[in-house]
Homo-oligomer: A and B are copies of this chain.
Amino acid sequence: MRKPNIAVLGATGVVGRNISKIITELGVEFNEIKFLSSAKSAGSVYEFQGEKYIVEEAKPESFDGVNIVLASAGATTSKIFAHEIVKRGGVLVDNSSAFRMEHDVPLVIAGVNDEDLRLHKGIIANPNCSTSQLMLVLKPLHEKWGIKRLIVSTYQAVSGAGLKAINELRADTVSKLNGEKFVNECFKKPISFNVIPQIDVFTDNGYTKEEMKVVNEAKKILHLPENLPISCTAARVPVFNGHSEAVDIEFEREVTSDEVREVLRSAYGVEVMDNPQNYDYPTTRDADGVNPVFVGRIRKNLAFDNGISLWCVADNLRIGAALNTVRICKKVIEMGLY
């Protein structure tokens, strides 16, 4: 099979850097690769697989001859370039929210709904981070027992808000420890030693966009009915990297926690850490820098008849963004979809 020409768009951002790292980790084979950014970061030197590349400013003609674009440059940039990429015959694997809910754009988690990739018309969307880790856990459970109702509360790291947010958590923390004043810029409230119940902007129903992404994207990825009841509360915690989620699921059919543990032990991309008496359960830090979605605290839920509660943790920059983007790229290559 011919090897593709690949471009990484938004290469200098926190997710872009992870994409480049994971291209190497997963051994994605390519013919040529280029690294694109905004005018601001263009010209900088980019180390990749032992070679030095100059980051180029993204322009329509940058995509001439490019087969697959891995983009993590925000919704506005993706909207600007999507048409330019597609009309040149390229496939855009987009990490932004720009196209996720469009009917003719597959929203894909590699290993969950790969077959949806076949429906692409040039654009493939990568789900939001908090949805992604959850889908890898829920897919095999849904197949077996049928999800009837879902309630999620998230504990999200600042890395999801970019490099500036990571630096802001550090600076705010140092200031607070020294008893100095600190003015937050990325966050609307102090982030050090605090919990902020807002991620992204608010929608008319009182949920945030982040929360509604979980609600809507889960339905699209798992092919659930539109009216399936799902609720989410998304909160930002003072953690550098790694999202945690408390998940309460009601199933159609009877289920035990042992059965769930068994199914998840052989699930793609999931690692079970669940021997709580020995303090064996995932904390956020366990996921930092690695690929699995870790699941623990699996137990019979006391509020639902056929209910299960669990705790899942993942590196949001990986599974929620860069890792899934590169995994999709690999699938697109394997399935010959470019």
Contacts and interface: CB of A to CB of B under 8 A. Distances in A.
Interface of A: 149-151, 153, 155, 169-170, 173-174, 177, 188-190, 193-198, 202, 205-207, 215, 229-231, 233, 235, 237-240, 244, 246, 248, 257, 276-277, 279, 281-285, 296-304, 307, 309, 311, 313
11 contacts: A149-B303, A173-B177, A174-B177, A196-B283, A202-B276, A205-B302, A206-B297, A215-B302, A233-B311, A235-B311, A246-B246
A244 B173 CA distance: 19
Contacts of A205: 299-300, 302
A177 B279 CA distance: 25
Max chain B C-beta neighbours (<10 A), residue from A153, A196, A276: A153
A177 to B, nearest CB: 7
A147 B298 CA distance: 26
A151 B248 contact: yes
B302 A229 contact: yes
B303 A231 contact: yes
A151 B190 CA distance: 27
Contact of A285 (B193, B197, B229): B193
Given A198-B279, A246-B246, 7 more contacts: A151-B248, A153-B246, A193-B238, A197-B246, A207-B299, A229-B302, A233-B309
B302 A197 contact: no
Contacts of A279: 188-189, 198
B246 A302 contact: no
A229 B195 contact: no
A72 B151 CA distance: 35
A227 to B, nearest CB: 10
Contacts of A283: 189-190, 194-197
Contacts of A257: 206
Contact of A194 (B198, B239, B299): B239
B197 A153 contact: no
A240 B215 CA distance: 32
A311 B49 CA distance: 47
Contacts of A150: 303
Contacts of A207: 299, 302
B246 A193 contact: no
- CB-CB nearest 7 A-B residue pairs: A206-B299, A153-B153, A231-B303, A233-B246, A229-B303, A153-B246, A197-B311
Contacts of A174: 177
A239 B300 contact: no
A148 to B, nearest CB: 10
Contacts of A284: 193-195
Nearest to A243: B195
Nearest to A215: B302
Contacts of A304: 229, 231
Contacts of A238: 193, 237-239
Contacts of A155: 155, 195, 235, 237
A238 B300 CA distance: 28
Contacts of A285: 189-190, 193-194
